[in-house]
Amino acid sequence: MQANQQKGQGQQTQGWLIEKARAIKVKESEEFASAKAAIPEWLHGGIVAIERNQKMYNQQVVIDQVAQSLGLWSSDKGTYLSVSKPYLTVEARVAWARHEHKEKGCKLTIQPVQFDSQSKLARVTIDSEIHGSVTATAKLGVGGGGVDSTNPFENAETSVIGRALGFLGYVLLGSGIASAEEVHVAIEEAEKKEKPRLDVVEGGQSQQQTTQEPRPISQMKAQQSQPTFVGTVTQNGQGPVENNGRKVARSIVTMNGQNINVYGIDGTAPIVAAWKQGQEVEFQARQENNGSLVVVTA
């Protein structure tokens, strides 16, 4: 590899590769312009650029400053171009759908998300007086990495609602049904399976880059003297399901007019799983950073 470094010093990236990258970047800009033109201006903040690596050449080449500015990079596995594609967040899809229905005086109903612990799928039905009814499913990533390591239910809930709204037409044409959040999670999972990229050549110099190690699931430990909460169950308990060797159940409880995600882990999982809609519950719990509660005793 040292010989390749010396040979590459002072050389420029091949012209055809530069031109090909420029053409792809022009198309990328056009896609973002089309995405903004297809939705109301107030939703432009909901467009997220998701970056992927597109293989350009099977061989390793020298990457000069021009190539680097375009997003080209090269390794012993080949030469790649970092390309972004526009996706719409679930939050933007929800806002878009609610705004359209309110303007037209029509009803939009997002049914409670249902979780199947056996198939590990989340399912939701959305009823629209404009577009009809759709049902969508999404993977319940219990035992997964990234956001799934600590919040598999919320992540699945976001994904499945986003997919259902996509089926109703709240999408950026050309980007598919998946939302920005769903694509981001998929890329994160794929990257964790990849090996480190070695000897990335930039301007004839070699560097070593590694992908981020998967983050372990946070260890949830019961604490003493936790506050007591009282509320009404608004969604039947779901689970328990296995999450990295631990049992996890989830429900939604209304307290002071707010719907709160409540989890049971290990010993309290069967308790939360048995909760029924309309039931008054009293329990001790600790509050997580995202506002959800983890039951300690009930």
**Of 6-10, 44-48, 93-97, 184-188, the least confident:** 6-10
pLDDT tier, 250 (very low <50, low <70, confident <90, very high otherwise): confident
Q: pLDDT at position 284, please? A: 85
Give mean pLDDT, residues 255-259. Answer: 81
Q: CB under 8 Å to 151, separation ≥6 — which residues? A: 290, 292
Backbone angles phi, psi at 277, to 5 degrees: -55, 130
Task: Pick one of 2.60.40, 1.20.950, 3.40.140, 3.30.160 as the CATH number of 90-175.
Answer: 3.30.160
Domain extent listing, the chain = 10-89+195-209, 90-175, 228-297
Q: How far is CA 181 from CA 39, 52, 163, 177, 245, in A?
A: 18, 14, 11, 12, 26
3-class secondary structure per residue, 17-60: HHHHHHHHHHHHHHHHHHHHHHCCHHHHHHEEEEEEEEEEECCC
Q: pLDDT at position 213, please? A: 38
Q: Which residue has the higher pLDDT, 165 or 52?
A: 165
- pTM, two decimals, is 0.58
pLDDT (tens digit per residue) in 97-117: 999 999 999 999 999 998 887
Q: How far is CA 295 from CA 68, 153, 257, in A?
A: 51, 16, 20
> Between the ranges 36-40, 208-212, 242-246, where is the mean pLDDT highest?
36-40
State the Cα–Cα distance between residues 177 and 175, nearest whole angstrom: 7
Q: pLDDT at position 262, please? A: 86
pLDDT (tens digit per residue) in 161-190: 998 999 899 988 777 677 776 766 666 665
Residues paired with residue 255 on neighbouring β-strands, in sequence order: 258
Does residue 88 contact residue 158 with C-beta atoms inside 8 Å? no
State the Cα–Cα distance between residues 250 and 122, nearest whole angstrom: 13
Q: pLDDT at position 245, please? A: 66
> Between the ranges 58-62, 219-223, 248-252, 281-285, where is the mean pLDDT highest?
58-62
Q: CB under 8 Å to 296, separation ≥6 — which residues? A: 222, 223, 226, 268, 283, 284, 285, 286
Residue with tokens 């080449």: 61
State the Cα–Cα distance between residues 281 and 253, nearest whole angstrom: 8
Does residue 197 contact residue 187 with C-beta atoms inside 8 Å? no
**CATH class (in words) of the domain with range 228-297:** mainly beta
Element (H, E) at 2: helix 2-8
Question: 3-state DSSP call for residue 297?
Answer: strand
Q: pLDDT at position 161, please? A: 92
State the Cα–Cα distance between residues 72 and 12, nearest whole angstrom: 13
pLDDT (tens digit per residue) in 197-239: 323 333 333 333 333 333 333 333 333 456 788 889 988 888 8
Residues paired with residue 79 on neighbouring β-strands, in sequence order: 57, 74
Q: pLDDT at position 96, please? A: 94
**Residue 37 scores a pLDDT above 80:** yes
Q: pLDDT at position 227, please? A: 79
Element (H, E) at 84: strand 78-88
Beta strand pairing status for 293-297 and 258-265?
Answer: parallel
Q: pLDDT at position 290, please? A: 64
Q: What's the mean pLDDT when you consider all of the chain?
A: 77
State the Cα–Cα distance between residues 96 and 113, nearest whole angstrom: 20
Q: Which two tokens stand for residue 81?
A: 């171009």
